[in-house]
Amino acid sequence: MTDNVEIAKLRMFKAEQLATDLNNWMDADYHRAKEMTDLMRNVCIDSQVASEWRFVLTNIARYGFDEFLRRYPAQARQAGFDESILEYVDSDSMMEPWLIEPLRNEFESMVEQQYIKRFGSLDDLTVLASTVIVDKGKYDNRWARYSADQWIDWSRTKGNNCTIKGPVKTGKTDISLSLGQLGQADGADIKTNIYLPSPLPCWAYTAKLSTLIKSICESKLRKKRVLFLLDEAGLFWARIDTIQSVPKDLSKVVLCLGKLECNLGFISHFEELIPTIIRRTSVASFEKRSLTSAFVEIRAGDFKMEPQLVTHIPRTTIPFDQDQLAFFNRDMFVADLLEFVSNIEQGESQWEAVIGYVNKHAGESDEIADISPKQVAQWIHHKKNSGGRSRMSIRQIAEIVEIPKSTVANWIGEVKKELDSFGSKPDTAVPLSS
């Protein structure tokens, strides 16, 4: 702390004034791109950050967001933006960065970080005064405002489930890994079918049902709580041949996990891909709206939260391949496994008994677990047609399976021809949307 108290008080007063001014600026309904760059120039302490954002804002205002992505894909990716944001952009806001919600959220987060960093090197009173910005108004719902207990307390009760959902490239896997880190720090073992290139203590890669069940029991023998993060869950549990939207096997697996006292984080693109048993039993929901924001509801534990938007969610520090699809192989007969787990006597020996059962029966299942992108695309298209619900566009399906739109259109066209060949009524095969 500075030796001159009067100077410290003066700096503190100045910092409070700047924080108030900045809060008022952020609360405005609209700012032009030039006003955003002017603010950034006054706040940013990192010249590289300022340069990157100036480039983004200037070119979006000049060409529009869609053309900016086409002209400068590398710079867009570096700034954390891709085509997934286009669904938040209408024709009137294409050239207005402030009106593009995910972009504005990222901009506000950057300004806040740069502001605090600028004052962080000064004396203690000035630093204290500068934090007014993160304690006022719209920043009340920042992720960092809450303790870690807020996000992980629901998993302290054995068998609780949560859902993590949202459009493509909004950071579902990212926030899932962050929840896993919080769970690990809270004393839990983490199992997941998300491949991590660098092994982590208390984490296990479980891309097979047998591996998962055995790993859960091993953790239970060590008196550990378990959280299982199941990525791409809604897609790779579909029973494609009969176009069942809620496969019975998945429901039985969920029951098995509950009986084994395992918590589940179910990660899926859309609400429609989440089985009823998960939706009805989940006690927490994290619905990603952008890379740094999510609509959160927590219905159990000591830290309940009414549905609200949480902003400035930090990225996970765990390295992972963002473009790699997660798989989960059903290499055991799920019905038989559930029957065994349901009838086993509770106690210390139950975990060893389940491990013995897995060792004996792993690899016996004749289920086809790893389905092709073509099957996934056709299944999603068919499912969204059923019950009169709104359809998913070919572009959206192409993003999910990471295949060109023209290829997806051809796959879906094959389904229409098959339905026609079986004499389906015209309204059975709904016309394709583009």
Domain residue limits, the chain: 5-140, 145-361, 373-421
> Which DSSP helix (H) or strand (E) runs through 168?
none
The residues with which 142 forms a beta bridge, in sequence order, are 311
Quick one: pLDDT at residue 339? 92
What's residue 246's pLDDT? 40
Token pair of 162 as six digits: 């949560």
Domain 145-361 CATH (choose: 3.40.50.300, 3.40.50.1100, 3.40.30.10, 3.30.365.10): 3.40.50.300
In this predicted structure, what is the pLDDT of residue 133? 43
Residue 92 has pLDDT above 70, yes or no: no
What is the average pLDDT across 231-238?
A: 63
| Per-residue confidence band for 432, with pLDDT thresholds at 50, 70 and 90 | very low
State the first-to-last Cα distance of the chain, in angstroms, to the nearest integer.
62
* Range of lowest pLDDT (42-46, 255-259, 279-283): 42-46
Tell me the average pLDDT of the chain: 77
Strand partners, 225: 188
Instruction: Name which of 12-21, 84-93, 158-167 the model is least confident about.
Output: 12-21
Going by pLDDT thresholds of 50, 70 and 90, the confidence category of residue 358 is very high
Helix (H) or strand (E) run with residue 118 in it: helix 101-120
More confident residue, 373 or 80: 80
Model confidence at 315, in pLDDT bands (50, 70, 90)? confident
Of 139-153, 244-258, 364-378, give the range with the top mean pLDDT: 139-153
355-to-24, 215, 216, 251, 367 alpha-carbon distances in Å: 60, 9, 9, 21, 21
Residue 88 carries which side chain, given as an amino acid letter?
Answer: Y
- The per-residue pLDDT for 41 is 78
Q: pLDDT grade, residue 2 (50/70/90)? A: very low
What's the Rg (C-alpha) of the chain? 25
